[in-house]
Chains A and B, each alone.
Chain A
Amino acid sequence: MINYVYRLISPGVFSVKYEDLNHGENLLVRPLYMSICHADQRYYLGRRDIRKLKSKLPMALIHEAMGEIIMDLSGKYKNGQKVVMIPNIPGSKKEKVIYENYQKGSRFMSSGVDGFMREVISIPEDRLVLAENIDFKAAAVCELISVGVHAVSRFEKLSHSVRNKIGIWGDGSLGYIVACILKQRFPSYHLTIIGHNSAKLSQFVFADETHLSDDIPSNFEVSHAFECTGGDGSYFAIDDIVSYINPQGTVVLLGVTENKVSINTRDILEKGLTFVGSSRSGKSDFIQAVDLLKIPKFQNRILRIIYEDEKVENTDDIHRVFKTDLNTPFKTVFKWNL
């Protein structure tokens, strides 16, 4: 079968690659809904190191998507069943102790290998999770939810048991999703969100407190913290966290930065803090993310931050959704009709 692959060849320029798809034992999935991640946007706008761009492009973008099965020779799935796709491709050498998303040799779709902007995706069975009876728009952001699930799971394993006050730095999509997961899993935790956009902070109605980053009360304290800012905000967020966190607290870092960030090691040492890097996710996180989406209250919270743009039917529409995404406060999703 001839497959259409929509690849970014340089910032702002797409190209169609026609491939003679040899799927072997893989399943075939037709993408239905996609969501734009900051990482895709950075490629689209060329806001990556020029050497990185050269080494990664051309490449199909998008690693957040859901679709439907159109062929499974193994018979495990029926045609038409809805699935979410896992963009992480684990390396061949599996190590028991190491999560699949950190294993050496792992690859990631839309970061070095083609992402989901294709007519049909050929994908191994273990890279799919059934997502029936879930709103397609919510299923499209399942990857980001799984990233939150992974971070919260690591927090559970690594942080001490005094968890009455949790702080989340970052009022964007990732901060919102981590807050939703924590509220769903641990309703008794006191959640405080620190951001710098009051309109975005107002979306966190289920949080116990919200503060603008320049207006944090002097007596404010947290037991543990999640850093969900990334970019230029990381430095300020990490610096605040180190100031307000109680001794032996755990700091989960999720925000991606292009530049190196200097941190206050003196106070980190003095307080005996634990820093946990958390990035991407694996299959078990996706399964938990889908389970969370089956809870109506959780799904409704997720849907509140999703903006659905018009469907994508040609390459001009791909440009349009990336431009729309620059002006939406949280997640931009769209129906993929190519």
Chain B
Amino acid sequence: MIFAAVVAGGVGSRMNLFGMPKQFLPLGKSEKPIIIHTLEKFVFCKNFHYIYVGVHKEWIDYTEELLKKHSLTDKRIILVEGGKDRNLTILNIINAIESNHGKSEEHIIVTHDAVRPFVTLRMIEENISALDYCSACDTVIPAVDTIIESKEGNIITSVPKRSSMYLGQTPQSFKISQFKELFSQLSDDEKSMLTDACGVFTCKGKEVRLVRGDVFNMKITTMSDYKIAGALLGGDMSD
């Protein structure tokens, strides 16, 4: 089966607006919350059997009401309590999937940040089809700026070759059984260091394929991101 996991576990510590997690902020002329824009894209993808949404426990009731208010009554949407971080939220969703649908080598999951509403149907579909050839894939865009590594934060440690550098976005997708197996092999230190699911695969030497993202598949994390997203929906950007 094919599952979506929309990760919305945050409580909005980086964007203090109306005391509300950023995924619930209104966006565009419709003033729909960011998470609704994102979920609509997933609902329009017919490949998904179920669309799980990981939400902080204090916001589950609110999210339920929000879905109703915006007529997102698709029976495939299931709310699950989020975890402490992204990976633990995904793990909660995986546990819910296995509890509802059993374990299977065939289960795949497309994980996505709720705060990336500019995701396209193409990206989602290419994530799903990439898993025909590998165990995991990551949506990326080529790095335009030079990436600088600095371990201490004040002196350059290395300047990696830009042509082989990419910026990771979401969706990130993988075979559920393999993720669980690899995640269970991680030490506690490794678990706290790895902020995304694909890191779990690469850390254990597994091949992760690249899917082409889009510069505007931005993560709305700060107030300036939010303003840019609002501006994008109000005007044109030349390519």
Where the two chains meet, the residues of A that have a C-beta atom closer than 8 Å to any C-beta of B are 1-2, 4, 7, 9, 13-20, 22, 28, 30, 58, 70-71, 79-80, 119-120, 313-315, 337-338
Contact = CB atoms under 8 A, between A and B. Distances in A.
Contact of A20 (B29, B44, B120, B122): B29
A120 B118 contact: no
A2 B46 CA distance: 18
Interface stretch (B9-17, B156-164, B229-237): B229-237
Interface string B219-239: 000000000000011011111
B137 to A, nearest CB: 16
Nearest to A13: B238
**Dominant SS among interface residues on chain A:** strand
Find the residue from B216, B235, B236 having the highest chain A CB count within 10 A. Answer: B236
B37 interface: yes
B239 A2 contact: no
B65 interface: no
A15 B236 contact: yes
A2 B118 contact: yes
Contact of A22 (B30, B46, B121, B232): B30
Contacts of A313: 122, 212
A20 B28 contact: yes
Interface string B15-29: 000000000000111
Given A15-B238, A28-B44, 18 more contacts: A1-B44, A2-B28, A2-B37, A2-B41, A14-B239, A15-B236, A15-B237, A16-B236, A17-B235, A18-B216, A18-B233, A20-B37, A22-B29, A22-B30, A119-B120, A313-B122, A313-B212, A338-B120
B37 A338 contact: no
Q: Which 7 A-B pairs have the closest CB atoms?
A: A20-B28, A1-B40, A70-B44, A315-B239, A18-B232, A20-B29, A15-B238
A19 B233 contact: yes
Interface of B: 27-30, 32, 37, 40-41, 44, 46, 117-118, 120-122, 212, 216, 232-233, 235-239
A28 B212 CA distance: 24
A70 B46 contact: yes
Contacts of A80: 46
A9 B29 contact: no
B40 A17 contact: no
Given A119-B120, A338-B122, A20 B238 contact: no
B120 A16 contact: no
B195 to A, nearest CB: 25
A79 B46 contact: yes
A16 B239 CA distance: 7
B29 A18 contact: no
Nearest to B126: A337
A14 B237 CA distance: 9
Given A20-B233, A79-B46, A9 B30 contact: no
B44 A120 contact: yes
A79 B37 CA distance: 19
A4 B120 contact: yes
A71 B73 CA distance: 13
Contacts of A315: 239
Contacts of B117: 2
Given A20-B27, A79-B46, A337-B122, A1 B41 contact: yes
Contacts of A18: 118, 216, 232-233, 237
Nearest to A315: B239
Contacts of B216: 16, 18
B233 A2 contact: yes
A338 to B, nearest CB: 6
Contacts of A9: 236, 238
A314 B214 CA distance: 10
Contact of B121 (A14, A17, A30, A79): A30
